[in-house]
């Protein structure tokens, strides 16, 4: 498996990584709630800092788990 770290990916690859991960169920994420988002809005927007190379996915997930992102 190829690394998904920012240092090992291009912006285009990070977009694809997020799309493949979030749309694995075959539907859009807007207010879906299927991933425990519970109607919290657009899940893919939550990962924009990863796409932009600002935060790793693990950092974003940890913030979400600890309530820093809603």
Residue 5 · residue 56 · CB < 8 Å: yes
pLDDT at residue 51 in the model: 95
Helices (H), 2-67: 11-22, 43-46, 48-51, 57-65
Residue with the larger pLDDT of the pair 11 and 37: 11
**Domain positions in the chain:** 28-70
Report residue 48: phi and psi, to 5°: -60, -40
62 has pLDDT over 60: yes
The arithmetic mean of pLDDT across residues 11-16, rounded, is 94
Q: CA angle at residue 34 from 3 to 9, to 5 degrees?
A: 15
As a whole number of angstroms, the distance between CA 36 and CA 57 comes to: 17
Give the tens place of pLDDT for each residue, 16-57: 998 888 766 655 555 555 555 554 556 678 899 999 999 999
């Amino acid at each position: 498996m190829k690394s998904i770290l920012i240092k090992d990916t291009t912006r285009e690859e990070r977009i694809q990584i997020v799309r493949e991960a979030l749309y694995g169920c075959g539907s859009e994420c807007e207010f879906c709630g299927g991933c425990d988002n519970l109607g919290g809005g657009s899940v893919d927007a939550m990962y924009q800092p990863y796409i932009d190379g600002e935060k790793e996915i693990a950092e974003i997930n940890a913030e979400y788990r600890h309530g820093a992102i809603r």
